[in-house]
Structure 1
Amino acid sequence: MLLGTPNLYLDHSAVSNEDWWPQIDAVLATGQVRLALSLWNLVEIGSATDRTQQDRRLAFLEQHDPLWIVERVAVQRQEVERFLWEGRFGVTPRDLCVVTPHLSVVDFYHSGTQTRIGLTPRGWIDGVDFNRVSKHKELAPDALTRLQAVDRKTFKTRQDEVFRAWIKGLIPKFDPDGKPFTVAQQAELLAWCEAHQKAFFDACPSLVVEDALTAVRTANPRRKPQRSDGIDLMHAVIALAYCDYFLIRDGYAKTCAIQVIKRLSSRHLASVYDDPARLHSDLTVPRAGDTPQAGSPA
């Protein structure tokens, strides 16, 4: 993690609203926050077919020398490893890497030895097959529809089963000394996580946020899930768990984020804003004894 200046994450709904850009510029010009972006920001920019629009949005973001956020699953694998290293093996875990000045570091978690040194946002976008991304977007509405249809009482009885299916792919493949785990050993570690779920979620910020956000987004069985729901979740999980401020224009996504903050009131999560002018005011003219709070005027 990078310490120091608090960071500001922009949902794509904020990036795509060019009328907000001067106000976002003003927020960042205060020096009170630093811009932080994720690969999902680049996915949304690159999904547009208008290259001129892509270049304009990239130029707006890159002028602020943004920090880059490691993709959600890679962060969650680190969280699970750290939990197991400390709780199960009693060893000091590796430092958690979530925010970095270098896009190449983010790429490392996907590409390994094929990491592209000096990777730029344009270079990353040009290397993505957005037809495949578009197909994956169709999966989110179907998954949410299925979850909405499950009776709450039935869902509660199957929570452990859901937990195992969710966490299985996040279990480390190698032990603290670098020796590969056997399948049986990985199953034992998964069972250990399941048996210590409270401590597990306490130690894994992005996982507890994703769990709460999924519950909020599936609570209304009458809502029709949208294609954008999956990426909205990708934006919000790391933004809430590891950023200081989260600027968002989408009303439903903002409402869900606020509900998560209320559910997880004992945790420090990002302050959510739907108005850059309000954020600028809170950063530059704080009221006596007051600090920016999650949410913004209705």
Structure 2
Amino acid sequence: MIANIAGIPLAANALEVRQYVTELQAVGHRFVLSAWNMYELARSNNQQHIDQCCAFVETLNPLWLSDSTKVKRQEVDRFLQPIFDNVGPVRNRSFSALNQTVAAMWGTYGEGGRPDETFTTSVALLRAHPEFLKTIDSSAKQTPEAILIGRRAYRDGAEALLDSIVDREYLALSLPAGADRLQLDYLMANRNKLLSVSPALAVEDAMSKLRVRDSFKPEPADAADLQHALVALGYCDYFVTGDRQLAQHCRYVVQKLGLACHVCRNVSDIPCQSMSG
């Protein structure tokens, strides 16, 4: 959305969409972005495009998604709390997947952002340290191969065994600090119940399985797509993407999991009505 209505080249209806964005804000809608929006823009080589997109984002005054890993760990921690009330450093504390400031968002990644940190300064910092971008690029390039490996296991009938192994390793990474094998065994034994009350975990599980079974050609960009959707589908009212394939996958996941999020291809698909009503 941002690149099409604020960057270079502009979409033909860019001015109309920006006006509609203003109207949505006027009735109480808040837009939500993530660190992945910063990463994608920082990879651009067109400074004018970057400047225009940054200027537009600042007018949005958006909320910021927490690190998906942090959200998943908090979901697991919340699930374990009634049974194991001494697990993890965030015991009995509520959490939110959304942050009011960029600095608070970076805090969920374990980074100490300055109180006055903005989208613009974060993009500039990423561009000033290309090694950060290369590290993320390297991880993203592993996504297509992971999907292809999963597809081969699915065709060979080994998916069920692979799922059990992967699920245990995956949940082990999502355990809060201080947890042990007893808690991991409990999660494995109650996996379906855990997913039913943990939106981010459930979205990642459903999306990953869909990608393995679908016939699309996997690309490195699929890593960013998953990160955009993972927390947003579970904690936002609307998810906007111009990517047809991503929209299809997200609609499938939302329907399968019974989530309240609406997947839209355009901002104009969001009803312009008061959020207070």
TM-score, normalised by the number of residues in structure 2: 0.85
Amino acid in structure 1 at the alignment position of 2:110: S
What does 1:51-66 align with in structure 2 at a 5 Å threshold? 51-66=47-62
CA distance in structure 2 between the aligned counterparts of 1:63 and 1:39, rounded to whole angstroms: 17
Q: How far did 1:21 drift? A: 4.0
Deviation at 1:228, TM superposition (A): 0.7
Question: 2:135, 2:3 → 1: CA distance?
Answer: 20
Which segments of 5 or more consecutive residues in structure 1 lack a partner in the other structure? 1-9, 174-180, 286-298
Assess if the C-alpha contact under 8 Å between 2:79 and 2:194 holds in 1: yes
Contact 1:172–1:186 (8 Å) recurs in 2: no
- Verify: 1:127 aligned to 2:147, yes or no: no
2:218 aligned partner, one-letter code? P
Shift of 1:233: 0.5
Question: 2:141 corresponds to which residue?
Answer: 138
Query: 1:263 and 1:172, CA in 2 relative to 1: closer, same or farther beyond 3 A?
Result: same
* Residue in 2 that maps onto 1:230: 223
In the alignment, which residue of structure 1 is the partner of 2:264? 273
Residues 28 and 74 of structure 1: CA distance in aligned 2, closer, same or farther (over 3 Å): farther
- Which residue in 2 is equivalent to 1:35? 31
Structure 1: 4+ residue segments shifted above 6 A = 11-17
Match of 2:249 among 235, 256, 259: 256
The equivalent residue for 1:159 is 163
3-state SS of the aligned residue for 1:246? strand
CA distance in 1, matches of 2:227, 2:38: 12
8 Å contact kept, 2:57–2:119: no
By how many angstroms is 1:168 displaced?
Answer: 1.0
> Are residues 1:246 and 2:239 paired?
yes
Please list the CA deviations of residues 136-191 of structure 1 after superposition, one character each: whole Å capped at 9, or x if unmatched. 22111111111111126421234322211111111111xxxxxxx3xxx5222111
CA contact (8 A) 1:103 1:120 kept: yes
Residue 14 and residue 140 in structure 1: after superposition, are their counterparts in 2 closer, same or farther (change >3 A)?
A: farther
Could you say what secondary structure the match of 1:68 adopts?
A: strand
Per-residue CA shift, 1:30-71, capped at 9, x if unaligned?
A: 324111111111111111122221111111111021111112
Question: Could you tell me how far apart the structure 1 residues matched to 2:114 and 2:10 are?
Answer: 31
Once residues 190 and 98 of structure 2 are traced to their aligned partners in structure 1, the CA distance between those partners, rounded to angstroms, is 28
Total equivalences in the alignment: 260
Between the aligned partners of 2:6 and 2:167, the Cα distance in structure 1 is: 34
8 Å CA contact 2:68, 2:230 repeated in 1: yes
Please, which of 171, 176, 182 is the counterpart of residue 172 of structure 1?
176
Kindly provide the amino acid, as one letter, of the partner of residue 151 in structure 2. Q
Question: Given the alignment, which residue of 212, 216, 226 partners 1:218?
Answer: 212
**Aligned ranges for residues 79-118 of structure 1 at < 5 Å?**
79-89=75-85, 93-111=92-110, 114-118=112-116
Give distance in 1, aligned partners of 2:6 and 2:171: 32
**Identity percentage of aligned residues:** 23
Mind listing any 5+ residue stretches in structure 2 that lack a counterpart?
127-131
Counterparts of 1:172 and 1:107, CA distance in 2: 19
| Letter paired with 1:159 | D
Separation (CA, whole Å) in 2 of partners of 1:203 and 1:65 = 30
Task: Note closer, same or farther for the CA distance 1:202–1:260 as it changes in structure 2 (3 Å cut).
Answer: same
What is the Cα-based RMSD across aligned positions, in Å? Answer: 2.4
Partner Cα distance (1:14, 1:193) in 2: 44
Conservation of the 8 A alpha-carbon contact between 1:145 and 1:224: no
Change (3 A) 1:198 1:15: farther
Distance 2:180 2:19 in 1: 47
Counterpart in the other structure of 2:129: none
The aligned amino acid for 2:118 is T
SS in structure 2 at match of 1:269: coil
How far apart are the structure 2 equivalents of 1:157 and 1:110? 32
Task: Say yes or no: does 1:75 pair with 2:71.
Answer: yes
